[in-house]
Amino acid sequence: MGASKLNPFAIDELVPEPWQNGAGWTRTLCSHVVDGEVLWRVSVADITAASDFSQFPGMDRTAVMVRGGRLQLSNAEGQLHLDRVGSQIRFPGEWALRCSLPDHHKKPTQLLNIMVRRGQVQGRVDTVTGTAHALLADNCPGLVLVLRGAFQWTSANDSRHILQARQGIQWQHLAQDWHADPLECDATMVCCTLRSWRLGGHVLIIN
């Protein structure tokens, strides 16, 4: 396997695409399509008004709060809540959910959305906070996104990257282990890996 190719990104530099219902915007971070079928997709959504969430049959979804206040998703069966940066919820793409009016101040609430094809891809999403350290060693696609503070990435050959809030790195595979160390006590980061049933990969959180 060749060397790791790391693709840095910053949320605020990505081009937003408007939702069809006019209630928000989407910035796509990465996706994988085979024969016209989406196997996985990761994006950041800006929610600016109360609206219905789109349904995606056959997909499993995870949402992580990137910015904003309390957010509620509800249907006839119950409610799901996101109440702080780094909090996450999981739900089937078939669910018809209504999003409450975001409790924000000057800026829209933002969510990191991870969608994977059920039975074909498994998405793992870990939130790293405080003094935790992350060891990443994968031969499958993934990404990290800093939500608050800053982290230093260091590879086995001592290559280094510093990521600030709202910055991240995406990869197709990691040819060597990487350590992510917080530079601030309240630093918070999301680690996501997208593993097909034919490939391995893991994110190990070390407290």
CATH assignment of the domain containing 186: 2.60.120.10
Tell me the percentage of the chain whose pLDDT exceeds 70. Answer: 84
**Global pTM?**
0.87
pLDDT of residue 200: 42
Q: Considering only residues 25 and 176, tell me which one the structure prediction assigns the higher pLDDT.
A: 25
Mean pLDDT, residues 138-165: 87
User: Are 25 and 77 contained in the same domain?
Assistant: yes
Residue range 32-44, pLDDT digits in tens? 888 888 999 999 9
Work out whether the CA dihedral 144, 201, 133, 115 comes out positive or negative. Answer: positive
Within a domain: 8: no
What is the reported pLDDT for 172? 83
Residue whose C-alpha is closest to residue 114's, from 62, 68, 163, 153: 62
Instruction: Please state whether 11 falls in left (phi above 0), alpha (psi between -120 and 50) or beta.
Output: alpha
Number of domains present in the structure of the chain? 2
Residues 6 or more apart whose CB falls under 8 angstroms from that of 34 comprise none
Render pLDDT for 157-170 as a digit per residue (tens, 0 to 9): 878 889 999 999 99
Q: Do residues 43 and 128 share a domain?
A: no
Indicate whether 19 and 108 sit together in one domain.
yes
Are 109 and 24 within one domain? yes
Over residues 65-78, the mean pLDDT reads 86
CB atoms within 10 A of CB 54: 12
Considering only residues 139 and 128, tell me which one the structure prediction assigns the higher pLDDT: 128
Residue 19 in any domain: the answer is yes
67/47 same-domain check: yes
| Domain span holding position 36 | 15-119
- pLDDT category of residue 151 using cuts at 50, 70 and 90: very high
Question: If you write DSSP's letter for every residue of 92-118 in order, what string do you get?
Answer: ETT---EEPPP--SSS-EEEEEEEEET
Please tell me the distance from the alpha carbon of residue 61 to that of residue 92, in angstroms, as a whole number.
6
Confidence at residue 83, expressed as pLDDT on a 0 to 100 scale: 87
Q: For residue 4, is it within any domain?
A: no
In a domain, 45, yes or no: yes
